[in-house]
Structure 1
């Protein structure tokens, strides 16, 4: 269990933190100080770059609220899977480069983060309306992918080449302890934690292909993990997309 609230907040990617806490702020559940503490999560500062002069995060979010923002939704795309994105191409490409972005619902705006030392710079771009995975379907797909990947990795003797992954697969109940913003459905908090768990397993297992005995084994390993990573990304998008949240 993570006793440091800043570390717990930092477990969720940047786009997820802004989606959860920014939406909670827009809906009046938290104040500006709580919003900034949660989104920064230990960073020195966040700035927003756009057509005008750079501005602080809170000022930029207040401007978006004035322009009609109703919620913030996250995207976690990968090559060949632009989940949570609706275009245009400039926004999609920028999001794909860093693997995450925020779509501002209600005003056709997107924010793409980039780390510059201890600072995060959010670039403001046009972003169109998108489709997001259904929470229930994403949940079922993730559970199925975890079971299938665990079996395939066991067949590939994962305990031999990455014993820490075997340990994680044996203890799937030990999930990241996320700090959720008020108003985020409990089901989505749990889904986000399991999505992060799945993505960590996939990343660890793909980290070192050098331990594989053959090209065939490398292909088998990737074949076992690609569906898991895809399901993890889609589940995380569903969990961090307020337009698709189920009622509590």
Structure 2
């Protein structure tokens, strides 16, 4: 279980900017099992910056906060433009806007290297972590009840297995200072994203168009609540307190 790359970058970069972790810890956490990450066209076109160098580069550019975006078609969550950045982020499904710098980063895979493409961007105001955590918990309860009603277990047994194990999974690796409630919400949100992705990929044994529509509706609601919870925690400098 892991955060989306942009979520990890936003969360750990915010921790680094407030002094909770050093650049080496930031780089190691964001890189994870990937061989290499490079930030391209930062701070100038044609430049390349390593993850270790990124926090200092952001500070030199008057950066104050990393704001996560996890957009999907019809829900440009975390995006505030311009349109070119929105298009890049929507294609990738994720991005980070760097408040105060006028720039943002979008990850792409190039062979064995994750390239963070720099482009002009503005951060959107982050959702409230407490409220989005509450909404996610409610969405999970509602989705579980709805999938039980639709008897999903009989044609996609891995879904209820994941739902039953929501409290029994290895925790995410998070930077110091993340409040326990926020950490729980992130764990829950990543699991919910996994559930939604798995279930939406296949209509399974749904017997009717009504069942398919109802199933997709509740899973889409769960996916949106999970993305909002992740954006709220990873974009907020809440963890400084």
TM-score, structure 1 normalization: 0.89
The equivalent of 1:43 in structure 2 is 34
Q: CA separation in 2, counterparts of 1:152 and 1:218?
A: 12
Matched, 1:162 2:162: no
CA distance in 2, matches of 1:176, 1:100: 24
> What secondary structure is seen at the aligned counterpart in 2 of 1:58?
coil
Q: How do 1:40-189 and structure 2 match up within 5 A?
A: 40-50=31-41, 51-189=45-183
Q: CA deviation at 1:113?
A: 0.4
Question: Contact between 1:175 and 1:194, CA under 8 Å: does it hold in 2?
Answer: no
Match of 1:203 in 2: 197
Residues 68-96 of structure 1, C-alpha deviation per residue, up to 9 Å, x if partnerless? 11222211111111111111111111111
SS of residue matched to 1:47: strand
CA distance in 1 between partners of 2:185 and 2:148 (Å): 24
The count of corresponding residues between Structure 1 and Structure 2 is: 238
What is the deviation of 1:23? 1.6
State the shift of 1:124 in Å: 0.5
Q: Give the CA deviation at 1:144.
A: 1.1
Say if 1:146 and 1:198, in contact at 8 Å, map to a contact too: yes
Aligned equivalents of 1:203 and 1:176: distance in 2? 20
TM-score under structure 2 length normalisation: 0.92
1:22 corresponds to 2:13: yes
Cα-Cα RMSD: 1.8
Using the alignment, how far apart are the partners of 1:150 and 1:73 within structure 2? Answer: 30
Contact 1:73 1:105 in 2 (8 A): yes
- Determine the C-alpha separation between the residues in 2 that align with 1:72 and 1:182: 17
Does the 8 Å CA contact 1:177/1:193 hold for their aligned counterparts? yes
Could you list the per-position Cα deviations for residues 47-86 of structure 1 after superposition, in whole angstroms to 9, with x for gaps in the alignment? 1122232332333442221011122221111111111111
| Aligned twin of 1:31 | 22
Q: What is the SS of the residue equivalent to 2:226?
A: helix
Q: Which moved more, 1:206-215 or 1:234-243?
A: 206-215
For 2:231, what is the secondary structure of its paired residue? helix
Q: Which runs of 5+ in 1 are unaligned?
A: 1-7
- Conserved 8 A contact 1:175-1:197: no
Aligned partners of 1:247 and 1:210: how far apart in 2? 44
CA shift for structure 1 position 228 = 0.6
Q: Aligned in 2, Cα 1:246/1:14: closer, same or farther, shift over 3 Å?
A: closer
Secondary structure in 2 aligned to 1:43? coil
- The DSSP-based 3-state class of the residue aligned with 2:118 is strand
Match status 1:241 vs 2:229: no
In 1, the alpha carbon distance for the partners of 2:240 and 2:34 equals 32
